[in-house]
Structure 1
Amino acid sequence: LTTTLFQAVQSDVLLSDCKSFFHDAASFIQTFIGWTIDAGQSVAQISTKIPNAFIAGIIYWLLLILVVGIYVAGTGILAILIEIKVIELYKKNCWDVITLLMILTSAVVIIYFGESIKKVMPINLLFLLLFIQGIYLGIRCYLNTLYWTNR
């Protein structure tokens, strides 16, 4: 495990893909926040119909904060619920040595053969690792369901 981690840190391909993955995630979050603020400003434009400038300003900011707060809170709650569900699936179906070996094996393959993988298919290695884990979780859930329905 230690050797694999040291190899991962020394792998230029994996490090650049990790930077790219997190940069893309940050860009998506910035874009989402921009869309949220634009939606809040669009809704808050209702306040321009109010003749009193002071009250219109208060209503504008209240509506903007309300819409942005609802979007951000809703997205946060949705992300937390998805994370809780995935953790429950892992604990129910995959909390064993086989899963640990699968995680380590797929990480080792991606770390040691990252350059060869990138030559064959241009995919982010960190995304590939997460994708493999998602497929593994789906297969384990399916097999576990199949096993319990046939008993």
Structure 2
Amino acid sequence: GCREIMDLANDHQLKFRHHTFVWHTSMAGWMLNKPVSQRQDMMLKHIEANMDEFVNDAFFWCIDVVNEVLNDVQNDPTSPKLRSGYWGDIPSDWVAAAFKKTHEMAVAAGRGDKIRLFINDYSINSIDTCCGIYKKANAMYHYAQQLLNKGVVLH
């Protein structure tokens, strides 16, 4: 599992990038039976458990806190549309909460300046075939700005 990979990185003095706490298409099976209204708290407990496990490992340098949060189709990149998935329609405050919890735990462990927090998405550099512009990349830029304006730490 993840612990073995982290230990291997430590043994060979390799930096370790953790991927990911929140992913639109993946969720622990036991969460699927819970109502969407309970999943944010469960998500935060999942982040807390993982950070407790890995935050003090010296070679743990970054994490994709949230993965694939943007909808593939972005009609208006200045108003980013989030995707839906197992989490239900992803409320924007879940994403901010995930980042804030991760950063809070890194700071509490004295590693707030050492662990980088990323938001990750695929096909970010794909050109919209109808318009020839990078709508998803522009949407990510605007979404990141929204998160930063809420006080979320992104690197």
Q: Which category describes the TM-score, using the shorter chain as reference length?
A: under 0.3
TM, length-normalised to structure 1: 0.25
Larger proportion of helix: 1
Higher RCO (CA-CA < 8 Å; seq separation 6+)? 1
Higher strand share: 2
